[in-house]
Structures are given as C-alpha cells and as structure tokens.
Amino acid sequence: MATREDVTFPSGTDRISAWLYRPDDVGPRGAPLLVMAHGLGAVRTMRLDAYAERFADAGYACLVFDYRNFGDSGGAPRQVLDVGMQLADWAAAVDFAHTLAGVDPARIGLWGTSFGGGHVIATAARLPVAAVVAQCPFTDGIASARTIPPLTTAKITLLAARDLLAARLGNPPVLVATAGRPGEVALMSTPDSYPGYLKLMPEDKPARNEVAARIGMKILGYRPGRQAAKVTCPILFCVCETDSVAPAEPTLRYAAQAPRGTVKRYPEGHFDIYVGDAFERVIADQLEFLDRNLKASAA
C-alpha cells in the first residue's frame, strides 16, 4: 500500500506544506512523480488526496502542495492569490521533487486542475518536465470573465480597488467569495459553482471560501492557454464540455496548438469531474496517458 508523509520545502521566504505519496515499488531508477496542486483559492484537502491515492496505487509518487498564503502553507497576508507567486511555487515544487530520494528526476510530471490547470501549462512552457495533465483548465481570463454577470463584475472590481488600496496602506485584505450562488458577489457564481464547490469540501475541516479581491482585476490578463504551443512534452487536456467557469472552446483551441497534445472531452460541468462516475472516467484516462508517456519512459 502506498504511504503518505507530510513534507515542507521553501518558496521565496516562506515554507510550502505538501503531502508526499510514495508507491510500494519505486524500481531501480526511482518512481515517476507528479507535482500536484489545486485551483482558484482551493487547497489540497479539497479532493486532491483522492487523485493522489489512485496515482500512488498505480505506481506514481505524488507531491501535493498548498500555495503560499493558503491552506497549511506559510505566507502572509492570508488568502492573497498572486499568479506570479503561485507560478514560483510550482517551480519550487519541481526543484524540490528533483531532490527526493527514490524519485526518477527524468520522469517528473505536472498535474493541475482548474486555475492550477492553467498554471501547469505556463510552467511546462518554461521548465523541462516529462508530462503534463491539465484538468478542466483555466486557459483564458477573458473567456472566464465573460461567465460573470456585468453587475457582479462591477461589484468585484470595486472590491478589488478597495483591496489594492488596503494593501498599499498596510491593512488586511478585502475579501471576496470564491464561489457563490447566482446573483451573489463571488468569483464563480454560475448555477453549478456553489453546490459544486461544496462537494469538494472536506467535512472535518472546511476550507475558506474567500480570496483577496485584488485577483478580480488581474485575472483578465492571465491567459496561460496561449503558452500551450511552447509545451514540448506530452500534455493531456481533460476538457469539460459544459464547463461554466473555464469555457471549453478556448481551451480546445489552445490545446490544438500543443505539439504533443492529447484531448479528452467529458459531457460534464466544471465541478462534476471531481466526483462520482466522471471522476472514475477521468482517472482512467489520466492513468492511461501517464502510463504511456511517463511510466513507459523508464524503458
């Protein structure tokens, strides 16, 4: 049976908290490893353990981390989501993975979902990794912003301006809900967002459903899908056809530009893929891709 231990590693001046899963059999060259992290304001306890357990049982080591300012990782102010910092956390995690005993440094891959699905595209375009899985990935800030009603966008913009002023004055962040019901002021407020978000929450320790509002002004400029053409390793795009927060159309367009891209499509929404039958189907597809492109490279 695979084992899990708590580990930490540095990113900037802070410490990142992570789970390290190790499979039973690492082999003479060491095990292939997946670096894994979540999406917008989410933390590893929101179902990433379910994925990592399945991967570890199939022979993969997994390094599953929380971004700085979130979850069990260090950093302050809390709940501040900064794209540049999160990309630096991915790079730090990859660096740390290369130092781990029992891991094959030539077979380190990335697995990211939602906002983290965009991050793995951007990271693989810059760093040498062996394979990538981008699940229901956020690929285009403009496309995602269009899923938010104009009145809600205006209210988020006002909160973001207040938050940026608070940061300049050294005051605590002004927060906005990550997920909310239709009509509520939240970064995700489509009909499936709030119930879908709740499905990911662990019952014993619910995560904070809020982030610093400043990301509302910066998210438009983040279009990691544009970097898919620069990803030279095999990359799997798991696309939800009825995705209400990370629309499928731009993702499919960007995926077609990846030199070694593979696309799997699912007739579900953004949050459905984490649970139930959709979870089983996506895990099977991801393991088939990884076995072919990451595990098989040991030969």
pTM for the whole thing?
0.96
Q: Residues 260-282: pLDDT tens digits?
A: 999 999 999 999 999 999 999 99
Q: Say yes or no to pLDDT of 297 above 90.
A: no
Bridge partner residues of 177 (DSSP): 186, 210
In this predicted structure, what is the pLDDT of residue 299?
A: 46
What are the φ/ψ torsions at residue 243 (nearest 5 degrees)? -60, 120
In this prediction, residue 205 has a pLDDT band, given cuts at 50, 70 and 90, of confident
> 245: closest CA among 168, 148, 175, 161?
148
Cα separation, 2 vs 53, in Å, equals 8
Closest CA to 113 of 205, 237, 267: 237
pLDDT at position 257 over 90: yes
pLDDT tens string 1-40: 789 999 999 999 999 999 999 999 888 889 999 999 999 9
Q: What is the mean pLDDT of residues 74-80?
A: 97
* DSSP bridge pairs for 261: 235
Residue 148 per-residue DSSP state: S
For 123, what's the count of Cα atoms within 13 Å in the CB-facing half-sphere?
Answer: 34
Which class for 214: exposed (0-12), middle (13-18), buried (19 or more C-beta within 10 A)?
Answer: buried
Taken in order 244, 89, 126, 288, is the CA torsion positive or negative?
negative
Residues 6+ apart with CB under 8 A from 49: 19, 64
pLDDT exceeds cutoff 90 at 204: no
The whole-angstrom separation of Cα 55 and Cα 78 is: 30
pLDDT at 54 over 90: yes
Domains detected in the chain: 3-140+220-298 (3.40.50.1820)
What stretch of H or E contains 93? Answer: helix 83-97
Q: Average pLDDT, whole number, for the chain? A: 95
